Amino acid sequence: MRLERSIGNASISFKRRGEDTVLQDLFQEGCAKIKMPRPEPGRRTEAVIINTAGGLTGGDVFAISAKWGPKTTAILTTQAAERYYTSCTGASKIITRLQIEEVATALWLPQEAIMFDGAIYERATHIDMAAGACLLALEMSVFGRTAMGETVTSGTSSERWQLRLDGRLVFADAFALDGDIHTAMGRPAIANGAHAMATLLYVGPDMAALCDTLNQSFSSSAIDGQASQLEAVLVVRILAQSAQNLRTCVNEVVDLLSRSLHSGNPLTSYVPRLWSF
């Protein structure tokens, strides 16, 4: 008997109206929904992705596409942490496609995804940018709920990034773990015992200075992190012992990087409003 699967597909695009970024187009079907809270004074346009299925398991598909029109600035985040549940029918697929046009500033800042024991998932993030655009993109993964004493001793985690600038591939990354993930994460060459990880990509001003600042900060903290400038993109990796530790560190990094996206107003932070709840 074939089990019923959750399929979600949503797309959103932004345009410039005067000095504001506003909604241009919105499509949503299945379990994927996007809501746009009314911006608070002094805050940027923010859209929130919701998975009404409450999580993903084998055979589920969740696809999001977003487009930032010329000179727009908008934040795309998620309502809550995503959950990848035990699978008995293959992999769940999470597909994100971001298109960023000239002089636009895109912030892809979802909350963390929690992998449960026995989960099988494939997550892919594809980004296409025009020259002169800015980007801050994030993915966070937590392997088991450490506060509940959970460990992930079986399953498959697959994560891929592709970033193109003016059609040229400038960053590609693939990470996969299969089987006893708890033991694999304990190996020094993989995660040295960490239970949570994050990858951030930054394309914008002051990359060299930000790289130095971040590495100095990591060297004096208990968080295992490293920033590297790879040609046109700043890549930040973070490992932490728990989701809470990861969120605390990521919040600080996002705040630092987002304040540099508009040098004309460095006091403005773009940390999503929902992250404070």
pLDDT at 2: 60
Q: CB neighbours of 4 closer than 8 A, spacing ≥ 6?
A: none
Q: Does the pLDDT at position 116 exceed 50?
A: yes
The dihedrals phi and psi of 132, each to the nearest 5 degrees, come to 90, -5
Q: Does the pLDDT at position 265 exceed 70?
A: no
pLDDT at 39: 77
Q: How far is CA 74 from the centre of its chain?
A: 14
What is the number of other CB atoms lying within 10 angstroms of the CB of residue 2?
A: 6
Q: What is the mean pLDDT of the chain?
A: 92
pLDDT at 1: 46
What is the number of other CB atoms lying within 10 angstroms of the CB of residue 59?
A: 19
Query: Residue range 176-205: average pLDDT?
Result: 93
pTM: 0.94
d(CA 40, CA 19): 15
Nearest to 5 by CA among 99, 105, 124, 85: 85
pLDDT at 267: 56
- In one-letter notation, the amino acid at residue 136 is L
Residues comprising the chain, all counted = 277
Q: Does the pLDDT at position 41 exceed 80?
A: no
Q: How do 134-143 and 92-100 pair as beta strands? A: unpaired
d(CA 159, CA 263): 32
